[in-house]
Structure 1
Amino acid sequence: MSTDVRSTESNDKHKLTLRFLAEPTDVNFGGKVHGGVVMKWIDLGGYACASSWSGRYCVTAYVGGIRFICPIHIGMVVEVEAQVIYTGKTSMHLAIDVYCRDPIEQERKKATHCVMIFVAVDRDSRPVGVPAWEPRTEQEIKLRDYAVKLMSLRQEIDEEMKDYFSS
Structure 2
Amino acid sequence: MDTSHKTSFQFISEPSDINFGGKVHGGVVMKWIDQAAYTCARTWSESYCVTVYVGGIRFYKPINIGEVVKVDSQVIYTGSSSIHIMVEVYSRDFSDQEFVKKTHCIIIFVSVDENGSPKKVKPWVPKTDQEKKLQEYATKLKALREDIHNEMKPFFNE
Q: If the length of structure 1 is used for normalisation, what is the TM-score? A: 0.92
Q: Which structure is higher in RCO with an 8 Å CA cutoff and minimum separation 6?
A: 2
In 2, the alpha carbon distance for the partners of 1:96 and 1:103 equals 22
* Match in the other structure for 1:155: 146
Q: Number of aligned pairs? A: 158
1:18-167 map, 5 Å: 18-166=9-157
Displacement of 1:104? 2.1
In 2, the alpha carbon distance for the partners of 1:62 and 1:165 equals 17
Q: Which aligned segments of 4 or more residues in structure 1 are displaced greater than 4 angstroms?
A: none
Displacement of 1:12? 1.4
2:4 to 10, 13, 27: 13
Identity %: 56
Q: Which runs of 5+ in 1 are unaligned?
A: 1-8
Displacement of 1:166? 1.6
Cα RMSD over matched residues?
0.9
Q: Which runs of 5+ in 2 are unaligned?
A: none
The one-letter amino acid paired with 1:16 is T
